[in-house]
Amino acid sequence: MFSVVLNSFVHRVPDKAQVIALAAESGCQLKRIRRSRNWMLVGEEAQLHKLREQLSDAPLLWMVTAIDKVLPKPTVCLQQLLQQTPSMTVAQLVSESGCSLAEARIAIDEFEGL
């Protein structure tokens, strides 16, 4: 189970009922944290991915970012990516794998034998 804190949820969402319905549709729970203005989204990884795909409106992109911060990053073998595309730049490697700039540079140096 993953928990996503949604700060100022009611103030940042144009239609609260619609978002609650989307969350229930995907199997997630969206509930208010005590009496505060913050809400919490709770669900399994697959459920959160499903909800994330449904949140495509511009005012709801902040929720997509919040969900992305909580979900585990997919593991990608940098060496395998470099073998598939040997002319890949550092920036391309960072964007495709989600690794840091330093990790990408180290992987390229190891691949080139430096």
Which tens digits make up the pLDDT trace of 40-70?
Answer: 999 999 999 999 999 888 889 999 999 999 9
Residues 86 and 56 in one domain: no
Predicted pLDDT at 61: 92
Residue 17 pLDDT level (bands cut at 50, 70, 90) = very high
Instruction: Note the pTM of the prediction, 2 decimals.
Output: 0.68
Which residues contact residue 7 at a Cβ distance below 8 angstroms, ignoring those fewer than 6 apart? 37, 38
C-alpha 21/C-alpha 75 separation (Å) is 32
Residues 39 and 9 in one domain: yes
Predicted pLDDT at 99: 83
Q: Name the domain count of the chain.
A: 2
* H or E element in which residue 42 lies: strand 39-43
Structure-token pair, residue 79? 């060496």
C-alpha 52/C-alpha 72 separation (Å) is 14
Domain carrying residue 38:
2-69
The residue with greater pLDDT, 102 or 114, is 102
